[in-house]
A and B are shown apart, each in its own frame.
Chain A
Amino acid sequence: MTLGLYVHVPFCETKCPYCDFNTYAAIESLMPGYVDAVANEITQWGAWLKHPALTSLFFGGGTPSYLPTRDIAKLMRAIYAAYDLPSDTEVTLEANPGDCSRERLQAIRRTGVNRLSIGVQSFDDNELRLLGRRHSVDQAIAAVRSARVAGFDNLSIDLMFGLPYQFAASWAHSLEEAVALEVEHISAYALTLEGGTPMEADVAGGHLPEIDPDIAAEMYNMTCETLAAAGYEQYEISNWSKPGLQSIHNLTYWRNESWLGVGPGAHGTIAHGPGAFSALPEQGVRFVDIKPPRAYIERAMAWRSGGALTADTLAGAGAIDTIELTTQAIAMGETMMMGLRLNVGVSDASFRQRFGVGIADAFPNAVNDCLKDGLLEWVGERLRLTDDLRPLGNEAFGRFIAEAMG
């Protein structure tokens, strides 16, 4: 049974203008209280679920590498104590290239973190400035080298395309540099202007040029071609890896399985389906911790878990702010929306095992229309987006969600 653990670290030295995550600059004074609170939340969850096994662990943010090493160690100690964590479990930490000296990375490696996700974003200093990043291209390259020396044999880097003022040539250059670093995993994201961010306001106000969707589409195609030629396999809309080195933690999300989320604003899910946590009578439940760090610390710190795990007890547990019960229809729609992001698509057999009905019976219209329009194809018993129309994935997801609404 899959159970991931996501630890949200809300601290950043500086906040990037495109970011709409629950992260904050200049609240470093809260770090000690935060670490104790998260450690308690980790412990209470472990006890409540009776020392479960974790299939992956992920420190995300924010900037987890901005946390002092001793704090990372403290959290790892709490995790080891409360969960079964086999030695080969994927443990990822997101790192800012600016925090990646060899010594620092060696220390982080010793805490048990065995995979780094480095926020490189671009190999063009002008683009890095536009994105408000505090690191340089040289620092990014040095970070990858230091990580190797520090003993990390599983590295991922993040890249962004479709930026204001970005041309195809500069994206080609970034891809080339990325390939040259020979990392195991690359995430390449089209910039999405999120509402309420400074960058969105700049574009809306005409201070930054609008992003041409056709140019972004062109860059996406370039990405697929370049990375495939360099031996990377695309396994999700925005993710590529060397064979067998996909992100185990992120696959949990795309397979719509269970994970716990701890930290301010972290989301968690106990997925629908038999055998999960049978004490929960519902079809599955999603829950979110309270967002403001101070309130989070207070509530997480005070939590003492115990008793039966039910929707009611969950709603009032620890730092949980909201819960959402999932119906079978919603769970099926979300399973398609997430699963079709993967290149292997969704297995009809697993779907049937989980929901008691096949995909084509649950979504006759969506499946038919998408097959007819060339959006989807059956490969054996798996339904997946076609390579040609993968960039139009939302069209397919939307039809499944619409049909799930009834």
Chain B
Amino acid sequence: MIGEMDPRRIRNFCIIAHIDHGKSTLADRMLEITGTVTPREMQEQLLDSLDIERERGITIKAQAVRMPFIYSDGNDYELNLIDTPGHVDFTYEVSRSLAACEGAILIVDATQGIQAQTLANVYLAMEHDLEIIPIVNKIDLPSADVPRVIAEMTAAFGFEADEVLAVSAKDGSGVIDLLNAVVDRVPAPKDNHDLPLRALIFDSKYDTYKGVLAYVRVIDGSVTSNDRIRMMATDTQAEVLEVGAFKPTMMKVPGLDAGEVGYIATGLKSVGECRVGDTITLARNGATDSLPGYGEQKPMVFAGLYPTEGVDFHELREALERLQMNDASLVYQPENSAALGPGFRCGFLGLLHMEIVQERLEREYDMDLVVTAPSVVYRVVMADASVIEVSRPTDLPNPSLLDQIEEPWLDVSVLTPSRFVGPMMELINARRGVFKRTEYLDSSGARAAGTESMPSSDPRVVIEAQLPMAEVLVDFYDQIKTRSKGYASLDYTFTGFYPAALVRLDILVAGQLVDALSLITHKDRAYYQGKALVAALRKLIPRQMFEVPIQAAVGSNIIARETVHAMRKNVLAKCYGGDISRKRKLLEKQAEGKKRMKRIGRVEVPQEAFLAILKMER
């Protein structure tokens, strides 16, 4: 035994919740109550270490923390909380975090009830055979309806009503009972320390001093400093520089034993060599089989990132390299746009991931970027039966050369109060969706328990449908929220590629094709999209000294046109002695603004125009 604790006294668990149901707050309270951090050290959302995570109230990277806890019988226990990302873009990371645990706390908001992600998370936890401890959170709020939400949970998942704990993560009530329940109900890890080392990487992170840190759950065997280890999927070897645990800051420990959670400092240079889901074993006398569940993540969303004037292409490359050291799911390759010059085609797990990367480049690297409209990956079956993947509309081969185009589809579930079923159906329909089924979630008993004042006392419905991913990519989530006044929620998973009648829609500005604005769309929708896109562009492109026609074309057919009329007057009427400095400074400011624009021929186009597709009216 090298570990600090008898495995029978260890509990590994995670918290699963829909966004905003209070996961980070509950984690904060547990840290406080177990004395892992002192109130003085406490800051909100302690486990969310990125600024963006704190600001948006979401978790992007997985984290772990070891908490000492004295159980009601007086014995010491070690509770390892593995915090999981809370967004569908990161479903794979969630599944790896779950695989590192034996139990999960399921949070449902007492004012909102079950949401789409709650369902998805529960099923995911069940797939991993986790012991689920259901809790109702936010019971301190006046609008909380605990009996109703408990009824909903028992109806939906078959929990016993007395299994569900009532908690307020905010004021701490019920949290000690919950910690006792973790010890009580979550099984202890199996004591496999005699087997060859197998440690599951549930996250990894680059550290300037120690190289890549693998966040691991040791499943079998044990690991200590100076061991030589091997990452089984990438077949990379490394020397263990240090092993440690999160308390909650990183603390060196002599070793990690089967059942324990901690980190291994590898000295490696890139997280790409130490991928989430991979298995670490010993280089010599290692395990023969890796742990199940490893999958290389494929980016689903692509967009072009281009430097504006003032941002150097090489600086952008360097920034992307630095981000990738910590984000194995970010991929990029240089590309050249006729309109925007040299830049990078970047692949992301989803839209949120894309936004986060863009925001980090802008904030942490102070870069001003043009981001083109996101695109999904298409599979193109060529006439000779070969298959190519296309993530950039301008790469779509000439129609005469191809047999068919396939686009990615998603299984989507929308959970909505029944009164919004109509608008949800309309939206799904408008986005080429195919219905699978609808199901009422609440039992009649649950409804009876509801109160009049609660807006969601109306029974809730799960709508399951399939949609092309491209249709979900652009503002689908916003529409779900808008059309349901914020009540409906969304979850989705990738299902596969299916053929569709797709065409490339091109945009010409002043007669010049702007490759960065091209998009792939369904044949039947090209006309409407073309019209909407040129209309949006007309508003986004400022008047120039000359008339600027904006056209949408499919092949050589112009299907829509708008005109930005020439500016007729732009001159300061009065400019006397007292105005000179002020007017000069105004012109200097305008010159700075123009620098950030991109020139398409003679036309100055602001950055927002390249995201016009996100702004067009549908």
Contact = CB atoms under 8 A, between A and B. Distances in A.
Do A and B pair up? The answer is yes
Interface of A: 6, 189-192, 213-214, 216-218, 220, 237-238, 250, 252-254, 256, 259, 261, 265-269, 286, 288, 324, 330, 333-334, 337-338, 341, 373, 375, 389-395, 397-398, 401-402, 405
B576 A253 contact: yes
Given A337-B583, A401-B587, A190 B569 contact: yes
A373 B574 contact: no
B569 to A, nearest CB: 4
A337 B571 CA distance: 11
Nearest to B544: A395
B569 A220 contact: yes
Contacts of A395: 545, 570
B570 A401 contact: no
Contacts of B38: none
Contacts of A389: 545
A252 B588 CA distance: 23
Interface in B520-546: 545
B567 A405 contact: no
A32 to B, nearest CB: 25
A192 B569 CA distance: 12
Interface string B567-590: 111111111111011011001101
Interface in B562-616: 565, 567-578, 580-581, 583-584, 587-588, 590-591, 594
A186 B571 CA distance: 18
Contacts of B577: 6, 252-253, 259, 261, 267-269
B573 A189 contact: yes
Interface residues of B, number: 23
Nearest to B602: A373
Given A330-B584, A373-B545, A398-B587, A391 B569 contact: yes
A255 B575 CA distance: 12
Nearest to A330: B584
B584 A214 contact: no
Nearest to A188: B573
Given A253-B576, A338-B575, A391 B584 contact: no
Interface in B172-203: none
A192 B576 CA distance: 14
Contact of A337 (B545, B569, B584): B584
Nearest to B582: A267
For B569, B576, B577, B583, the residue with the greatest tally of chain A CB atoms inside 10 Å of its CB is: B577
Contact of B575 (A288, A341, A373): A341
Contacts of B588: 401-402, 405
B570 A393 contact: yes
Nearest to A373: B545
A380 to B, nearest CB: 24
A362 B578 CA distance: 25
A391 B580 contact: no
B189 to A, nearest CB: 65
19 contacts: A189-B574, A190-B569, A192-B573, A192-B574, A213-B568, A217-B568, A237-B575, A253-B575, A269-B577, A338-B575, A341-B575, A375-B545, A391-B570, A392-B569, A392-B571, A397-B587, A401-B588, A402-B587, A405-B588
Interface of B: 545, 565, 567-578, 580-581, 583-584, 587-588, 590-591, 594
A267 B584 CA distance: 15
Given A286-B581, A334-B580, A394 B570 contact: yes
Contacts of B567: 213, 392
A254 to B, nearest CB: 8
Contacts, number: 100
B591 A237 contact: no
A392 B576 contact: no
Given A214-B569, A286-B581, 8 more contacts: A253-B580, A324-B581, A337-B583, A338-B575, A389-B545, A394-B572, A395-B570, A401-B591
Contacts of A402: 587-588, 591, 594
A250 B545 contact: no
Q: Which of A192, A217, A324, A392 has the most CB of B within 10 A?
A: A392
Given A398-B591, A401-B588, A267 B569 contact: no
B451 to A, nearest CB: 43
Nearest to B590: A398
Nearest to A269: B577
A127 to B, nearest CB: 16
A392 B545 contact: yes
Nearest to B595: A402
Contacts of B571: 237, 390-394
Nearest to B574: A189
Contacts of A266: 578
Contacts of B576: 250, 253
Nearest to B543: A213
A213 B575 CA distance: 19
Contact of A401 (B545, B572, B578, B584): B584
Contact of A338 (B565, B570, B580, B591): B580
A131 to B, nearest CB: 14
B584 A334 contact: yes
Given A253-B576, A324-B581, A333-B584, A217 B569 contact: yes
A393 B571 CA distance: 5
A271 to B, nearest CB: 11
A161 to B, nearest CB: 9
Nearest to A396: B571
Contacts of A337: 575, 580, 583-584, 587
B257 to A, nearest CB: 64
A277 B581 CA distance: 21
Contacts of A375: 545
B578 A267 contact: yes
B203 to A, nearest CB: 47
A238 B573 contact: yes
Interface pairs A-B: 7 shortest CB-CB? A217-B568, A402-B591, A217-B569, A393-B571, A401-B587, A267-B578, A189-B573
A388 to B, nearest CB: 11
B538 to A, nearest CB: 16
Contacts of B574: 189, 192, 238
A289 to B, nearest CB: 11
A129 to B, nearest CB: 21
Contacts of A238: 573-574
A402 B597 CA distance: 14
Contact of B569 (A213, A250, A253, A397): A213
Contacts of A254: 575
Nearest to B578: A267
Contacts of A217: 568-569
A286 B575 CA distance: 15
A380 B583 CA distance: 29
Given A259-B577, A337-B587, A395-B545, A214 B570 contact: no
A397 B571 CA distance: 9
A26 B581 CA distance: 30
Given A398-B587, A401-B588, A192 B570 contact: no
B568 A237 contact: no
A161 B52 CA distance: 50
Contacts of B578: 261, 265-267, 288
Contacts of B545: 373, 375, 389, 392, 395
A288 B572 CA distance: 22
A213 B568 CA distance: 8
Contacts of A189: 573-574
B573 A237 contact: yes
A333 B574 CA distance: 18
A333 B587 CA distance: 11
Contacts of A338: 575, 580
B581 to A, nearest CB: 6
Contact of B573 (A190, A250, A401): A190
A65 B587 CA distance: 34
Nearest to B587: A401
For B545, B568, B569, B581, the residue with the greatest tally of chain A CB atoms inside 10 Å of its CB is B569
Contacts of A252: 577
